[in-house]
């Protein structure tokens, strides 16, 4: 009997340089290897996104862009088709916010914010890191993300330094369920781009609903693009039981990898 088809898509954010797809390739490679080792999909997708957080060419983790006050404040979220969801917002001084979001998914909570999210990360054993001393090489790029399917379960994860130059306290789509990401029995969706527009459009949930109606991922992607003005960046990764699609109305480094 043939094995299950495994698949992962990863992106470096709307506006990222297509030439940086070596970074998204590495994220896909790790995610695929983890699924091949039967790692749960939520852990596999979060560890893939951590690779992107560690790549300063992308606006997340160590590459996060600074806010108006010079601080680095990050949001991250993850979800799987068993309805586990975890998120952090406005977290500071943590190298891999996606791992903290994954920790929240295992807790009684779904979203922790600000200094209390940092305190939770410390309790989980994460070290304090001064990210303001690390130079971001991600001008004008957005959230990183990935979606996976192991032939049984789906998962998605997102991480961002937010919109560079925005005021402290501003939170975009990433930690808001159904806005930046949504996952269920029909598939997984993650978005990148202008957070306020992604949120107003309930982008991930409405895209996911199309998958539930049997609409193919590529058609769902093109329909979702139509919800955005030309001036608003949007990128999406989508997996359903019918296939997958990825793209952006801007440049976007992204990769796809399959295996069994
Ligand atoms: N899309 C990420 C943000 O706007 O914060």
Distance of CA 61 to the CA centre of its chain: 12
* Ligand 1 atom nearest 75 alpha carbon: 5
Per-residue pLDDT at 184 exceeds 70: yes
Choice from 193, 204, 234, 237 to test ligand 1 binding pocket (greatest atom count within 8 A of CB): 193
For residue 57, the model assigns a pLDDT of 95
105 CA distance to ligand 1 centroid (A)? 20
Q: Is 166 buried (19+), middle (13-18) or exposed (0-12) by CB count in 10 A?
A: middle
Nearest CA to 98 out of 82, 117, 77 is that of 77
CA of 75 to the centre of ligand 1 (A): 8
Does domain 6-244 fall under CATH 3.60.20.30? My reply is yes
Q: Choose the catalytic residue: 24, 143, 160, 199.
A: 143
Q: Bridge-partner residues for 258, per DSSP?
A: 7
Residues with Cβ within 6 A of ligand 1? 142-143, 160, 162-163, 172-174, 192-193, 195, 198
pLDDT for 245 beyond 70? yes
φ and ψ at residue 193, rounded to 5 degrees:
135, -150
Give me the pLDDT at residue 141, please: 80
Within 8 A by CB and 6+ apart from 71, the residues are: 92, 132, 168
At residue 238, what are phi and psi to the nearest 5 degrees? -140, 135
Does residue 1 have a pLDDT over 60? no
Percentage of the residues of the chain whose pLDDT score is greater than 90: 94
* Rounded distance between C-alpha atoms, residue 191 and residue 257, angstroms: 19
Tell me how far apart the alpha carbons of residues 56 and 58 are, in angstroms, rounded to a whole number: 5
- Tens digit of each residue's pLDDT (9 = 90 or more) over 61-73: 999 999 999 999 9
* Cα–Cα distances in angstroms (integers) from residue 24 to residues 189, 231, 260, in the given order: 17, 25, 20
Res. 180: pLDDT tops 50: yes
> Count of H helices and E strands in the chain?
7, 11
Residue of 195, 200, 234, 252 to test ligand 1 pocket, by largest number of atoms within 8 Å of CB: 195
Backbone torsion region of residue 229, taken as left when φ is above 0, otherwise alpha when ψ lies between -120 and 50, otherwise beta: beta
The pLDDT value given to residue 2: 57
Hunting for tokens 């209390």 — which residue is that? 116
pTM score of the predicted model: 0.97
CA distance 230 to 235: 12
Q: What pLDDT, in 10s, does the model give residues 118-171?
A: 999 999 999 999 999 988 887 778 899 999 999 999 999 999 999 878 999 999
Query: Region 11-26: what's the mean pLDDT?
Result: 96
pLDDT at 11: 98
* CA pair distance 193, 100, nearest whole angstrom: 22
Nearest atom of ligand 1 to the alpha carbon of 13:
1
**Average pLDDT over all residues of the chain:** 96
Tell how far the Cα of 167 is from the centroid of ligand 1, in angstroms.
13
- What's the confidence (pLDDT) of residue 227? 98
Tens digits of residue pLDDT in 3-16: 789 999 999 999 99
Q: Residue of the nearest CA to atom 2 in ligand 1?
A: 195
Is 113 one of the annotated active-site residues of the chain?
no
Centre of ligand 1 to C-alpha 9, Å, is 19
Which helix H or strand E contains 41, and what residues bound it? helix 41-53
Q: pLDDT digit string (tens) for 27-62?
A: 999 999 999 999 999 999 999 999 999 999 999 999
**The predicted structure's pLDDT at residue 134:** 87
State the virtual CA torsion across 200, 182, 93, 49 in degrees, nearest 10. Answer: -130
Residue 107: strand, helix, or coil: coil
Residue 162 CA, ligand 1 centroid: distance in Å: 5
Residue whose CA lies nearest to ligand 1 atom number 4:
195
Q: Where are the alpha helices (DSSP H) in 7-112?
A: 21-36, 41-53, 97-105
pLDDT in tens, 192-201: 999 999 999 9
Q: Which residue's CA is the closest to the ligand 1 atom numbered 1? A: 195
């Amino acid at each position: 009997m043939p094995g299950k088809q495994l698949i992962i898509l990863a992106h470096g954010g709307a506006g990222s340089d297509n030439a940086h797809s070596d970074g998204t390739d590495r994220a896909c490679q790790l995610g695929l290897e983890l699924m091949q080792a039967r790692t749960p999909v939520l852990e596999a997708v979060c560890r893939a996104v951590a690779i992107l957080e560690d790549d300063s060419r992308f606006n997340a983790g160590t590459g996060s862009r600074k806010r108006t006050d010079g601080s680095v404040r990050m949001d991250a979220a993850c979800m799987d088709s068993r309805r586990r969801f975890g998120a952090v917002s406005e977290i500071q001084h943590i190298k891999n916010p996606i791992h903290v979001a994954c920790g929240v998914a295992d807790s009684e909570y779904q979203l922790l914010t600000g200094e209390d999210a940092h305190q939770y990360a410390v309790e989980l054993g994460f070290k304090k890191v001064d990210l303001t001393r690390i130079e971001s090489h991600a001008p004008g790029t957005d959230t990183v993300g990935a979606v996976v399917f192991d032939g049984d379960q789906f998962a998605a994860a997102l991480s961002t330094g937010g919109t560079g130059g925005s005021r402290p306290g501003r939170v975009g789509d990433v930690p808001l369920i159904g806005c930046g990401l949504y996952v269920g029995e029909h598939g997984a969706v993650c978005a990148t781009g202008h957070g306020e527009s992604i949120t107003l459009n309930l982008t991930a949930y409405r895209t996911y609903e199309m998958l539930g109606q049997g609409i193919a991922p590529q058609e769902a992607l093109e329909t979702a693009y139509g919800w955005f003005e030309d001036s608003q960046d949007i990128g999406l990764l989508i997996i359903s039981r019918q296939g997958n699609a990825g793209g952006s109305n801007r440049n976007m480094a992204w990769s796809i990898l399959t295996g069994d």
